[in-house]
């Protein structure tokens, strides 16, 4: 029988996994503060959103595929393949000479990132029992927290410099991945020795194609067509409809194959279904609302990109402190249901408090709100993964875990698109009404403004600094009111997550010996 790994062996493996996860998580945030310099170099402002969307599309769409393929071929070779693809994409993105090239190379980078994000938690599920997993989850909470702060900071640092070692500054946001990725590749080769379960297998290539096509179609509608052209635009409706039709085709096809990429039978598992829904909601609430904080700090309070990154540190503290604490309590008591419940409550309260932000809100106040929001996130995100992995058969661990990551990423894309659209619409509406009111109360101030200033402000916030003081105040109030609406919309989303968390069933967590036995049994079944 396979013996459980020692704490030292686990920590060595964790180091390589954390490096891989940090690379993928950083590249979700590091590009945002460098986009201004990139589009100026390539004269590609009209395509800038695709630099982010291309990465999001391929990383999200590929997530469930990695889980299934790793179930069939083993964790280490598939994880290392993801690292290599990510490194190739990073190198090519750094060497890009046009906006079109950068978009294509970001898509390649996303293909690798999908494997890094999904397989990290799958491998943890392989080597650590559910009962012991809690005390290690703080490490990954730290990675997510660090990436949320370090990403904007590094992006701002590199893009603010014309050249570093003779290379354009912004290109280092991609080249910085290379040494860390190579290190992760070397360490996983040396220490990531997970017994491969040999089994007869057959890849459902058509099913994989259908999943990718449906996700790409839906995300293009949500992330690009909807925000740019409107939700009733024929192109948006067509892309959404196509995505839904492909999902239906996949559901019909899945019944005909013996080994589907994403088995719909998993949804018969109560915990799998609930954690997928909760993961989607957390992703929507987290990415959709938290992405507004740097914008608020930079546009409304005038912080630089670097300052905005530093001011997110309380969010990281909340995530890290509660992830570590909740993980240790779970390991000690074996109880986990209370944490997603408390977490969704804390996130709801944090978002509710953020609806009270104003132009002159002191930083200490924002810090408290951020800590509460981060604490809720820390209590929820990793805990639902523990609950899921404890509830599925060992043979389904890979696809079940990667599916949870998939639904959380999908929720994040959905939330980002919807909240971004709400923000844009509210800004236009509030600017128009604000200037009308200014025209009544101070006609002299409005007479000095260009009639196209409202449109200009929605595309370039640098215009704010060129306006008269009275107009600047009107603009900042318009933006602030728009941010408040977004937070108000995010609150009920998280409340829905709370109600789903109430219905989680608490199942006794497997200890190390039971976990090793389950792994051995799965290997035996595959050989029979």
pLDDT at site 422: 81
Write out pLDDT tens, residues 136-165: 766 776 777 677 677 777 777 777 777 788
Q: Is the dihedral of CA 398, 403, 408, 409 positive or negative?
A: positive
Residue 79: name the closest of 312, 297, 398 by CA.
Answer: 398
pLDDT of residue 255: 80
What pLDDT is recorded for position 192?
Answer: 72
Distance of CA 357 to CAs 136, 352, 361, 369, Å?
Answer: 35, 10, 6, 10
What share of the chain in percent tops pLDDT 70?
A: 80
Instruction: Using DSSP, state whether 501 is helix, strand or coil.
Output: helix
Domain coordinates in residue numbering, the chain: 7-203+261-431+478-527, 204-260
| pLDDT in the model for residue 36 | 64
Residue located via tokens 């602030």: 480
Distance CA 435, CA 454 (A): 9
Maximum Cα interatomic distance, the chain, rounded to a whole number of Å: 86
User: CA–CA separation, 382 vs 331, rounded Å?
Assistant: 13
Structure confidence at residue 174 (pLDDT): 87
Residue 391: which of 403, 373, 379 has the closest Cα? 403
CATH topology of domain 7-203+261-431+478-527: Growth Hormone; Chain: A; (1.20.1250)
Say how far apart CA 183 and CA 189 lie, in whole Å: 10
The answer to whether the CB of 354 falls within 8 A of the CB of 296 is no
**Residue-wise DSSP of 391-418:** HS-GGGHHHHHHHHHHHHHHHHHHHHHH
Give every residue of the chain whose pLDDT is below 50, as ranges.
1, 522-528
What span, in angstroms and rounded, lies between the C-alpha atoms of 140 and 18? 7
Q: How far apart are CA 486 and CA 288, in angstroms?
A: 9
Q: Percentages helix, strand, coil for the chain, rounded to the nearest 5?
A: 80, 0, 20
| DSSP H or E run through 168 | strand 167-168
User: How confident is the model at residue 353, as a pLDDT?
Assistant: 94
Query: Tens digits of per-residue pLDDT, 207-225?
Result: 878 887 887 788 778 767 7
């Amino acid at each position: 029988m396979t013996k459980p790994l020692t704490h030292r062996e686990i920590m060595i493996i964790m180091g390589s996994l954390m490096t891989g996860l940090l690379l993928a998580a950083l590249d979700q945030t590091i590009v945002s503060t460098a986009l201004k310099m990139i589009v100026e170099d390539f004269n590609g402002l009209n395509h800038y959103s695709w630099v982010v969307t291309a990465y999001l599309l391929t990383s999200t769409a590929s997530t469930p595929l990695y889980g299934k393929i790793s179930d069939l071929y083993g964790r280490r070779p598939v994880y290392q393949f993801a690292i290599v693809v990510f490194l190739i994409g990073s190198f090519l993105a750094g060497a890009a000479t046009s906006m079109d090239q950068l978009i294509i190379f970001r898509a390649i980078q996303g293909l690798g990132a999908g494997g890094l994000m999904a397989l990290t938690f799958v491998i943890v599920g392989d080597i650590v029992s559910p009962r012991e997993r809690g005390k290690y989850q703080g490490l990954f909470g730290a990675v997510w927290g660090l990436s949320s702060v370090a990403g904007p900071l590094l992006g701002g640092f590199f893009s603010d410099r014309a050249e570093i070692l003779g290379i354009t500054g912004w290109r280092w946001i991609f080249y910085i991945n290379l040494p860390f990725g190579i290190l992760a590749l070397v360490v996983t080769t040396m220490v990531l020795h997970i017994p491969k379960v040999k089994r007869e297998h057959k890849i459902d290539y058509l099913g994989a194609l259908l999943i990718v096509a449906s996700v790409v179609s839906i995300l293009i509608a949500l992330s690009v067509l909807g925000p740019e052209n409107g939700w009733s635009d024929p192109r948006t409706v067509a892309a959404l409809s196509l995505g839904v039709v492909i999902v239906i085709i996949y559901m019909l096809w899945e019944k005909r194959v013996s080994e589907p990429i994403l088995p719909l039978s998993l949804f018969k598992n109560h915990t799998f279904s609930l954690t997928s829904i909760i993961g989607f909601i957390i992703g929507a609430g987290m990415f959709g609302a938290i992405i507004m904080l740097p914008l608020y700090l930079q546009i409304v309070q005038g912080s630089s990109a670097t300052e905005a990154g530093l001011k997110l540190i309380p969010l990281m503290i909340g995530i890290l402190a509660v992830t570590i604490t909740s993980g240790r309590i779970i390991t000690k008591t074996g109880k986990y249901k209370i944490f997603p419940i408390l977490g969704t409550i804390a996130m709801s309260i944090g978002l509710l408090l953020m609806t009270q932000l104003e132009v002159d809100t002191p930083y200490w106040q924002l810090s408290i709100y951020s800590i509460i929001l981060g604490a809720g996130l820390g209590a929820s995100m990793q805990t639902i993964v523990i609950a899921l992995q404890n509830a599925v058969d060992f043979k389904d661990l890979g696809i079940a875990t990667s599916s949870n990551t998939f639904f959380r990423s999908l929720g994040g894309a959905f939330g980002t698109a919807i909240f971004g659209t709400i923000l844009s619409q509210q800004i236009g509406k509030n600017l128009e009404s604000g200037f009308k009111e200014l025209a009544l109360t101070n006609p002299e101030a409005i007479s000095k403004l260009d009639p196209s200033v409202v449109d200009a402000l929605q595309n370039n916030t640098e215009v704010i600094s060129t306006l008269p003081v009275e107009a600047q105040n009107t603009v900042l109030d318009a933006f602030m009111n728009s941010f408040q609406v977004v937070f108000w919309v995010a609150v009920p989303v998280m409340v829905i997550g709370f109600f789903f968390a109430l219905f989680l069933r608490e199942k006794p967590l497997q200890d190390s010996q039971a976990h090793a036995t389950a792994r051995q049994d799965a290997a035996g079944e595959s050989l029979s």
